[in-house]
């Protein structure tokens, strides 16, 4: 049975995946420097699963420490979530993003090589499609074109690095998962998205508005050519996303496999506000402001490849995500 190292496993998507891995009987260890997560997540994982995974509080930029964790870990598989992910911040601080995301990944790959670990699942993003000039993306579309920010470029570059690693070693198994817009949280409401600092993404901002920590949501544009003028995204429940990692891990083959993880359905910003209001019974204060630079009007996944090859599809919808989010919000 696989023994997994989850880098970034204390974060939002990582912690949900760790829970699903433990539930399926996998042994998991976590490497995280708590840059964007809290140590209490470990207690919550234990509360939900009955298992407290081994936690290495370590920076993946600390190559010596990473080597030491691998030398002692006997891992078969790495699920690589760790990294910086704020699009806007990456424009302000490009060097930090290239250093953490690229150097960090190189350190992990070097330790994998030295310890004969030949199986990696990587957290990529729909952002690698840049502006695909179409509303729905499948995995055969070209990547790396018209990328507007360093964060997206690091995802593209890491995908290319992984392809080269798999090319050089034909036993190496690389799975690249391109997430669309992860939302929601574990149905217990015990864990959820809880970023340090000011959030960038729609759902954590909605949550902060609901808590009164931000006065109102700014809707970035209502003049797009969509059914209500606001942008459309493919919001995928994080527990479905977590399960996609497990199926991808179990079905990995030597070489490179790439999957979109999304629902295939699009929801507008106004529909998200409406779904939150219905689920919570609250009014969500918002105002329409100008378009945000770099936003695409519509981006949804064609997730047929994951269905066909992994037997994976999303089982939860936006209403489920809102219900779980409210449970997390209300503690």
The dihedral built from the CA positions of residue 152, 158, 162 and 164, taken in this order, carries a sign that is positive
Catalytic residue selected from 12, 26, 151, 235: 151
**Nearest to ligand UFG of 56, 85 (CB atom):** 85
Helix axes 269-280, 202-210, angle to 10 degrees: 40
Which of positions 94-153 make contact with ligand UFG (CB under 6 A)?
125-127, 152
CB of 183 vs ligand NAD, minimal distance in Å: 9
Give the shortest CB-160-to-ligand UFG separation in angstroms: 17
Contacts of 194 (CB under 8 A, 6+ apart): 12, 37, 38
- CA dist., res. 116 & res. 114, Å (int): 6
**Binding to ligand UFG by residue 318, rule CB under 6 A?**
no
- Within 8 A by CB and 6+ apart from 282, the residues are 210, 276
302 touching ligand UFG, by CB under 6 A: no
Q: Which does 59 bind (CB under 5 to 8 A by kind): ligand UFG, ligand NAD, none?
A: ligand NAD
Q: Looking at 16, 119, 153, 233, which residue binds ligand UFG (CB under 6 A)?
A: 233
How far is 78 from 5, CA to CA, in rounded Å?
5
Burial label, 153 (beta-carbon count in 10 A; 0-12, 13-18, 19+): buried
Enter the tokens of residue 224: 């797009």
Rounded to the nearest whole angstrom, what is the least distance from the CB of residue 104 to ligand NAD in the complex?
Answer: 5
Is 158 a binding residue for ligand UFG by CB under 6 A? The answer is no
Residue 177 β-bridge partners = 123, 259
Q: Is 218 in the site for ligand UFG (CB under 6 A)?
A: yes
Nearest distance in Å: CB 104, ligand UFG: 17
The option from ligand UFG, ligand NAD, none interacting with 200 (CB < 5 to 8 A, set by class) reads: ligand UFG
Work out whether 171 is an interface residue with ligand UFG (CB under 6 A): no
Cα separation, 140 vs 89, whole angstroms: 29
| Residue 151 annotated as catalytic | yes
Q: What are the angstrom distances between the C-alpha of 57 and each of 8, 36, 46?
A: 10, 12, 17
Q: How far is the CB of 208 from ligand UFG (least distance, A)?
A: 10
Contacts with ligand NAD, residue ranges (CB under 6 A): 8, 10-14, 32-37, 59-61, 81-85, 100, 104, 123, 125, 179, 181-182, 201
Q: From the list ligand UFG, ligand NAD, none, which binds 10 (C-beta under 5 to 8 Å, kind-based)?
A: ligand NAD
Q: What is the DSSP letter of 138?
A: -
Q: For 67, list phi and psi in degrees, rounded to 5.
A: -60, -45
Could you list the residues that contact ligand UFG (CB under 6 A)?
A: 85, 87, 125-127, 152, 180-181, 200-202, 205, 217-220, 231, 233, 269, 292, 295, 299
Residue positions annotated with a catalytic role? 151
């Amino acid at each position: 049975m696989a023994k997994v190292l989850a880098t970034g496993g204390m974060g939002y998507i990582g912690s949900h995946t760790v829970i699903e891995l433990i539930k399926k009987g996998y042994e998991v260890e976590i490497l995280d420097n708590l840059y964007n997560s809290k140590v209490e997540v470990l207690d919550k994982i234990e509360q939900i699963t009955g298992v407290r995974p081994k936690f290495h509080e370590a920076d993946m930029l600390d190559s010596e420490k990473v080597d030491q964790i691998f030398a002692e870990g006997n891992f078969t598989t790495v699920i690589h979530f760790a990294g910086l992910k704020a699009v806007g911040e990456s424009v302000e601080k490009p060097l930090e993003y290239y250093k953490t995301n690229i150097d960090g990944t190189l350190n992990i790959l070097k330790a994998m090589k030295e310890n004969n670990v030949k199986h990696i699942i990587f957290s990529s993003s729909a952002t690698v499609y840049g502006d695909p000039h179409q509303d729905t993306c499948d995995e055969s579309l070209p990547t790396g074109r018209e990328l507007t920010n360093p964060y997206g470029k690091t995802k593209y570059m890491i995908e290319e690095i992984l392809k080269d690693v798999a090319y050089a070693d034909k036993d190496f198994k690389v799975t690249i998962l391109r997430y669309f817009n992860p939302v929601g949280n574990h149905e217990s409401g015990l864990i959820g998205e809880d970023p340090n600092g000011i959030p960038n993404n729609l759902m954590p901002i909605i949550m902060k508005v609901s808590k009164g920590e931000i006065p109102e949501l700014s809707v970035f544009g209502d003049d797009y050519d969509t059914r209500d003028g606001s942008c459309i995204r493919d919001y995928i429940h994080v527990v479905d996303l977590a399960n996609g990692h497990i199926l991808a891990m179990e079905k990995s083959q030597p070489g490179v496999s790439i999957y979109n993880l999304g629902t295939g359905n699009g929801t507008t910003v106004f529909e998200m506000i409406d779904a939150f209001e219905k689920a919570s019974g609250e009014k969500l204060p918002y105002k329409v402001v100008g378009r945000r630079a770099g936003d695409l009007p519509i981006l949804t996944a064609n997730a047929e490849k994951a269905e066909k090859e992994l037997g994976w599809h999303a089982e939860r919808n936006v209403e489920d995500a809102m219900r779980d989010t409210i449970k997390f919000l209300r503690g």
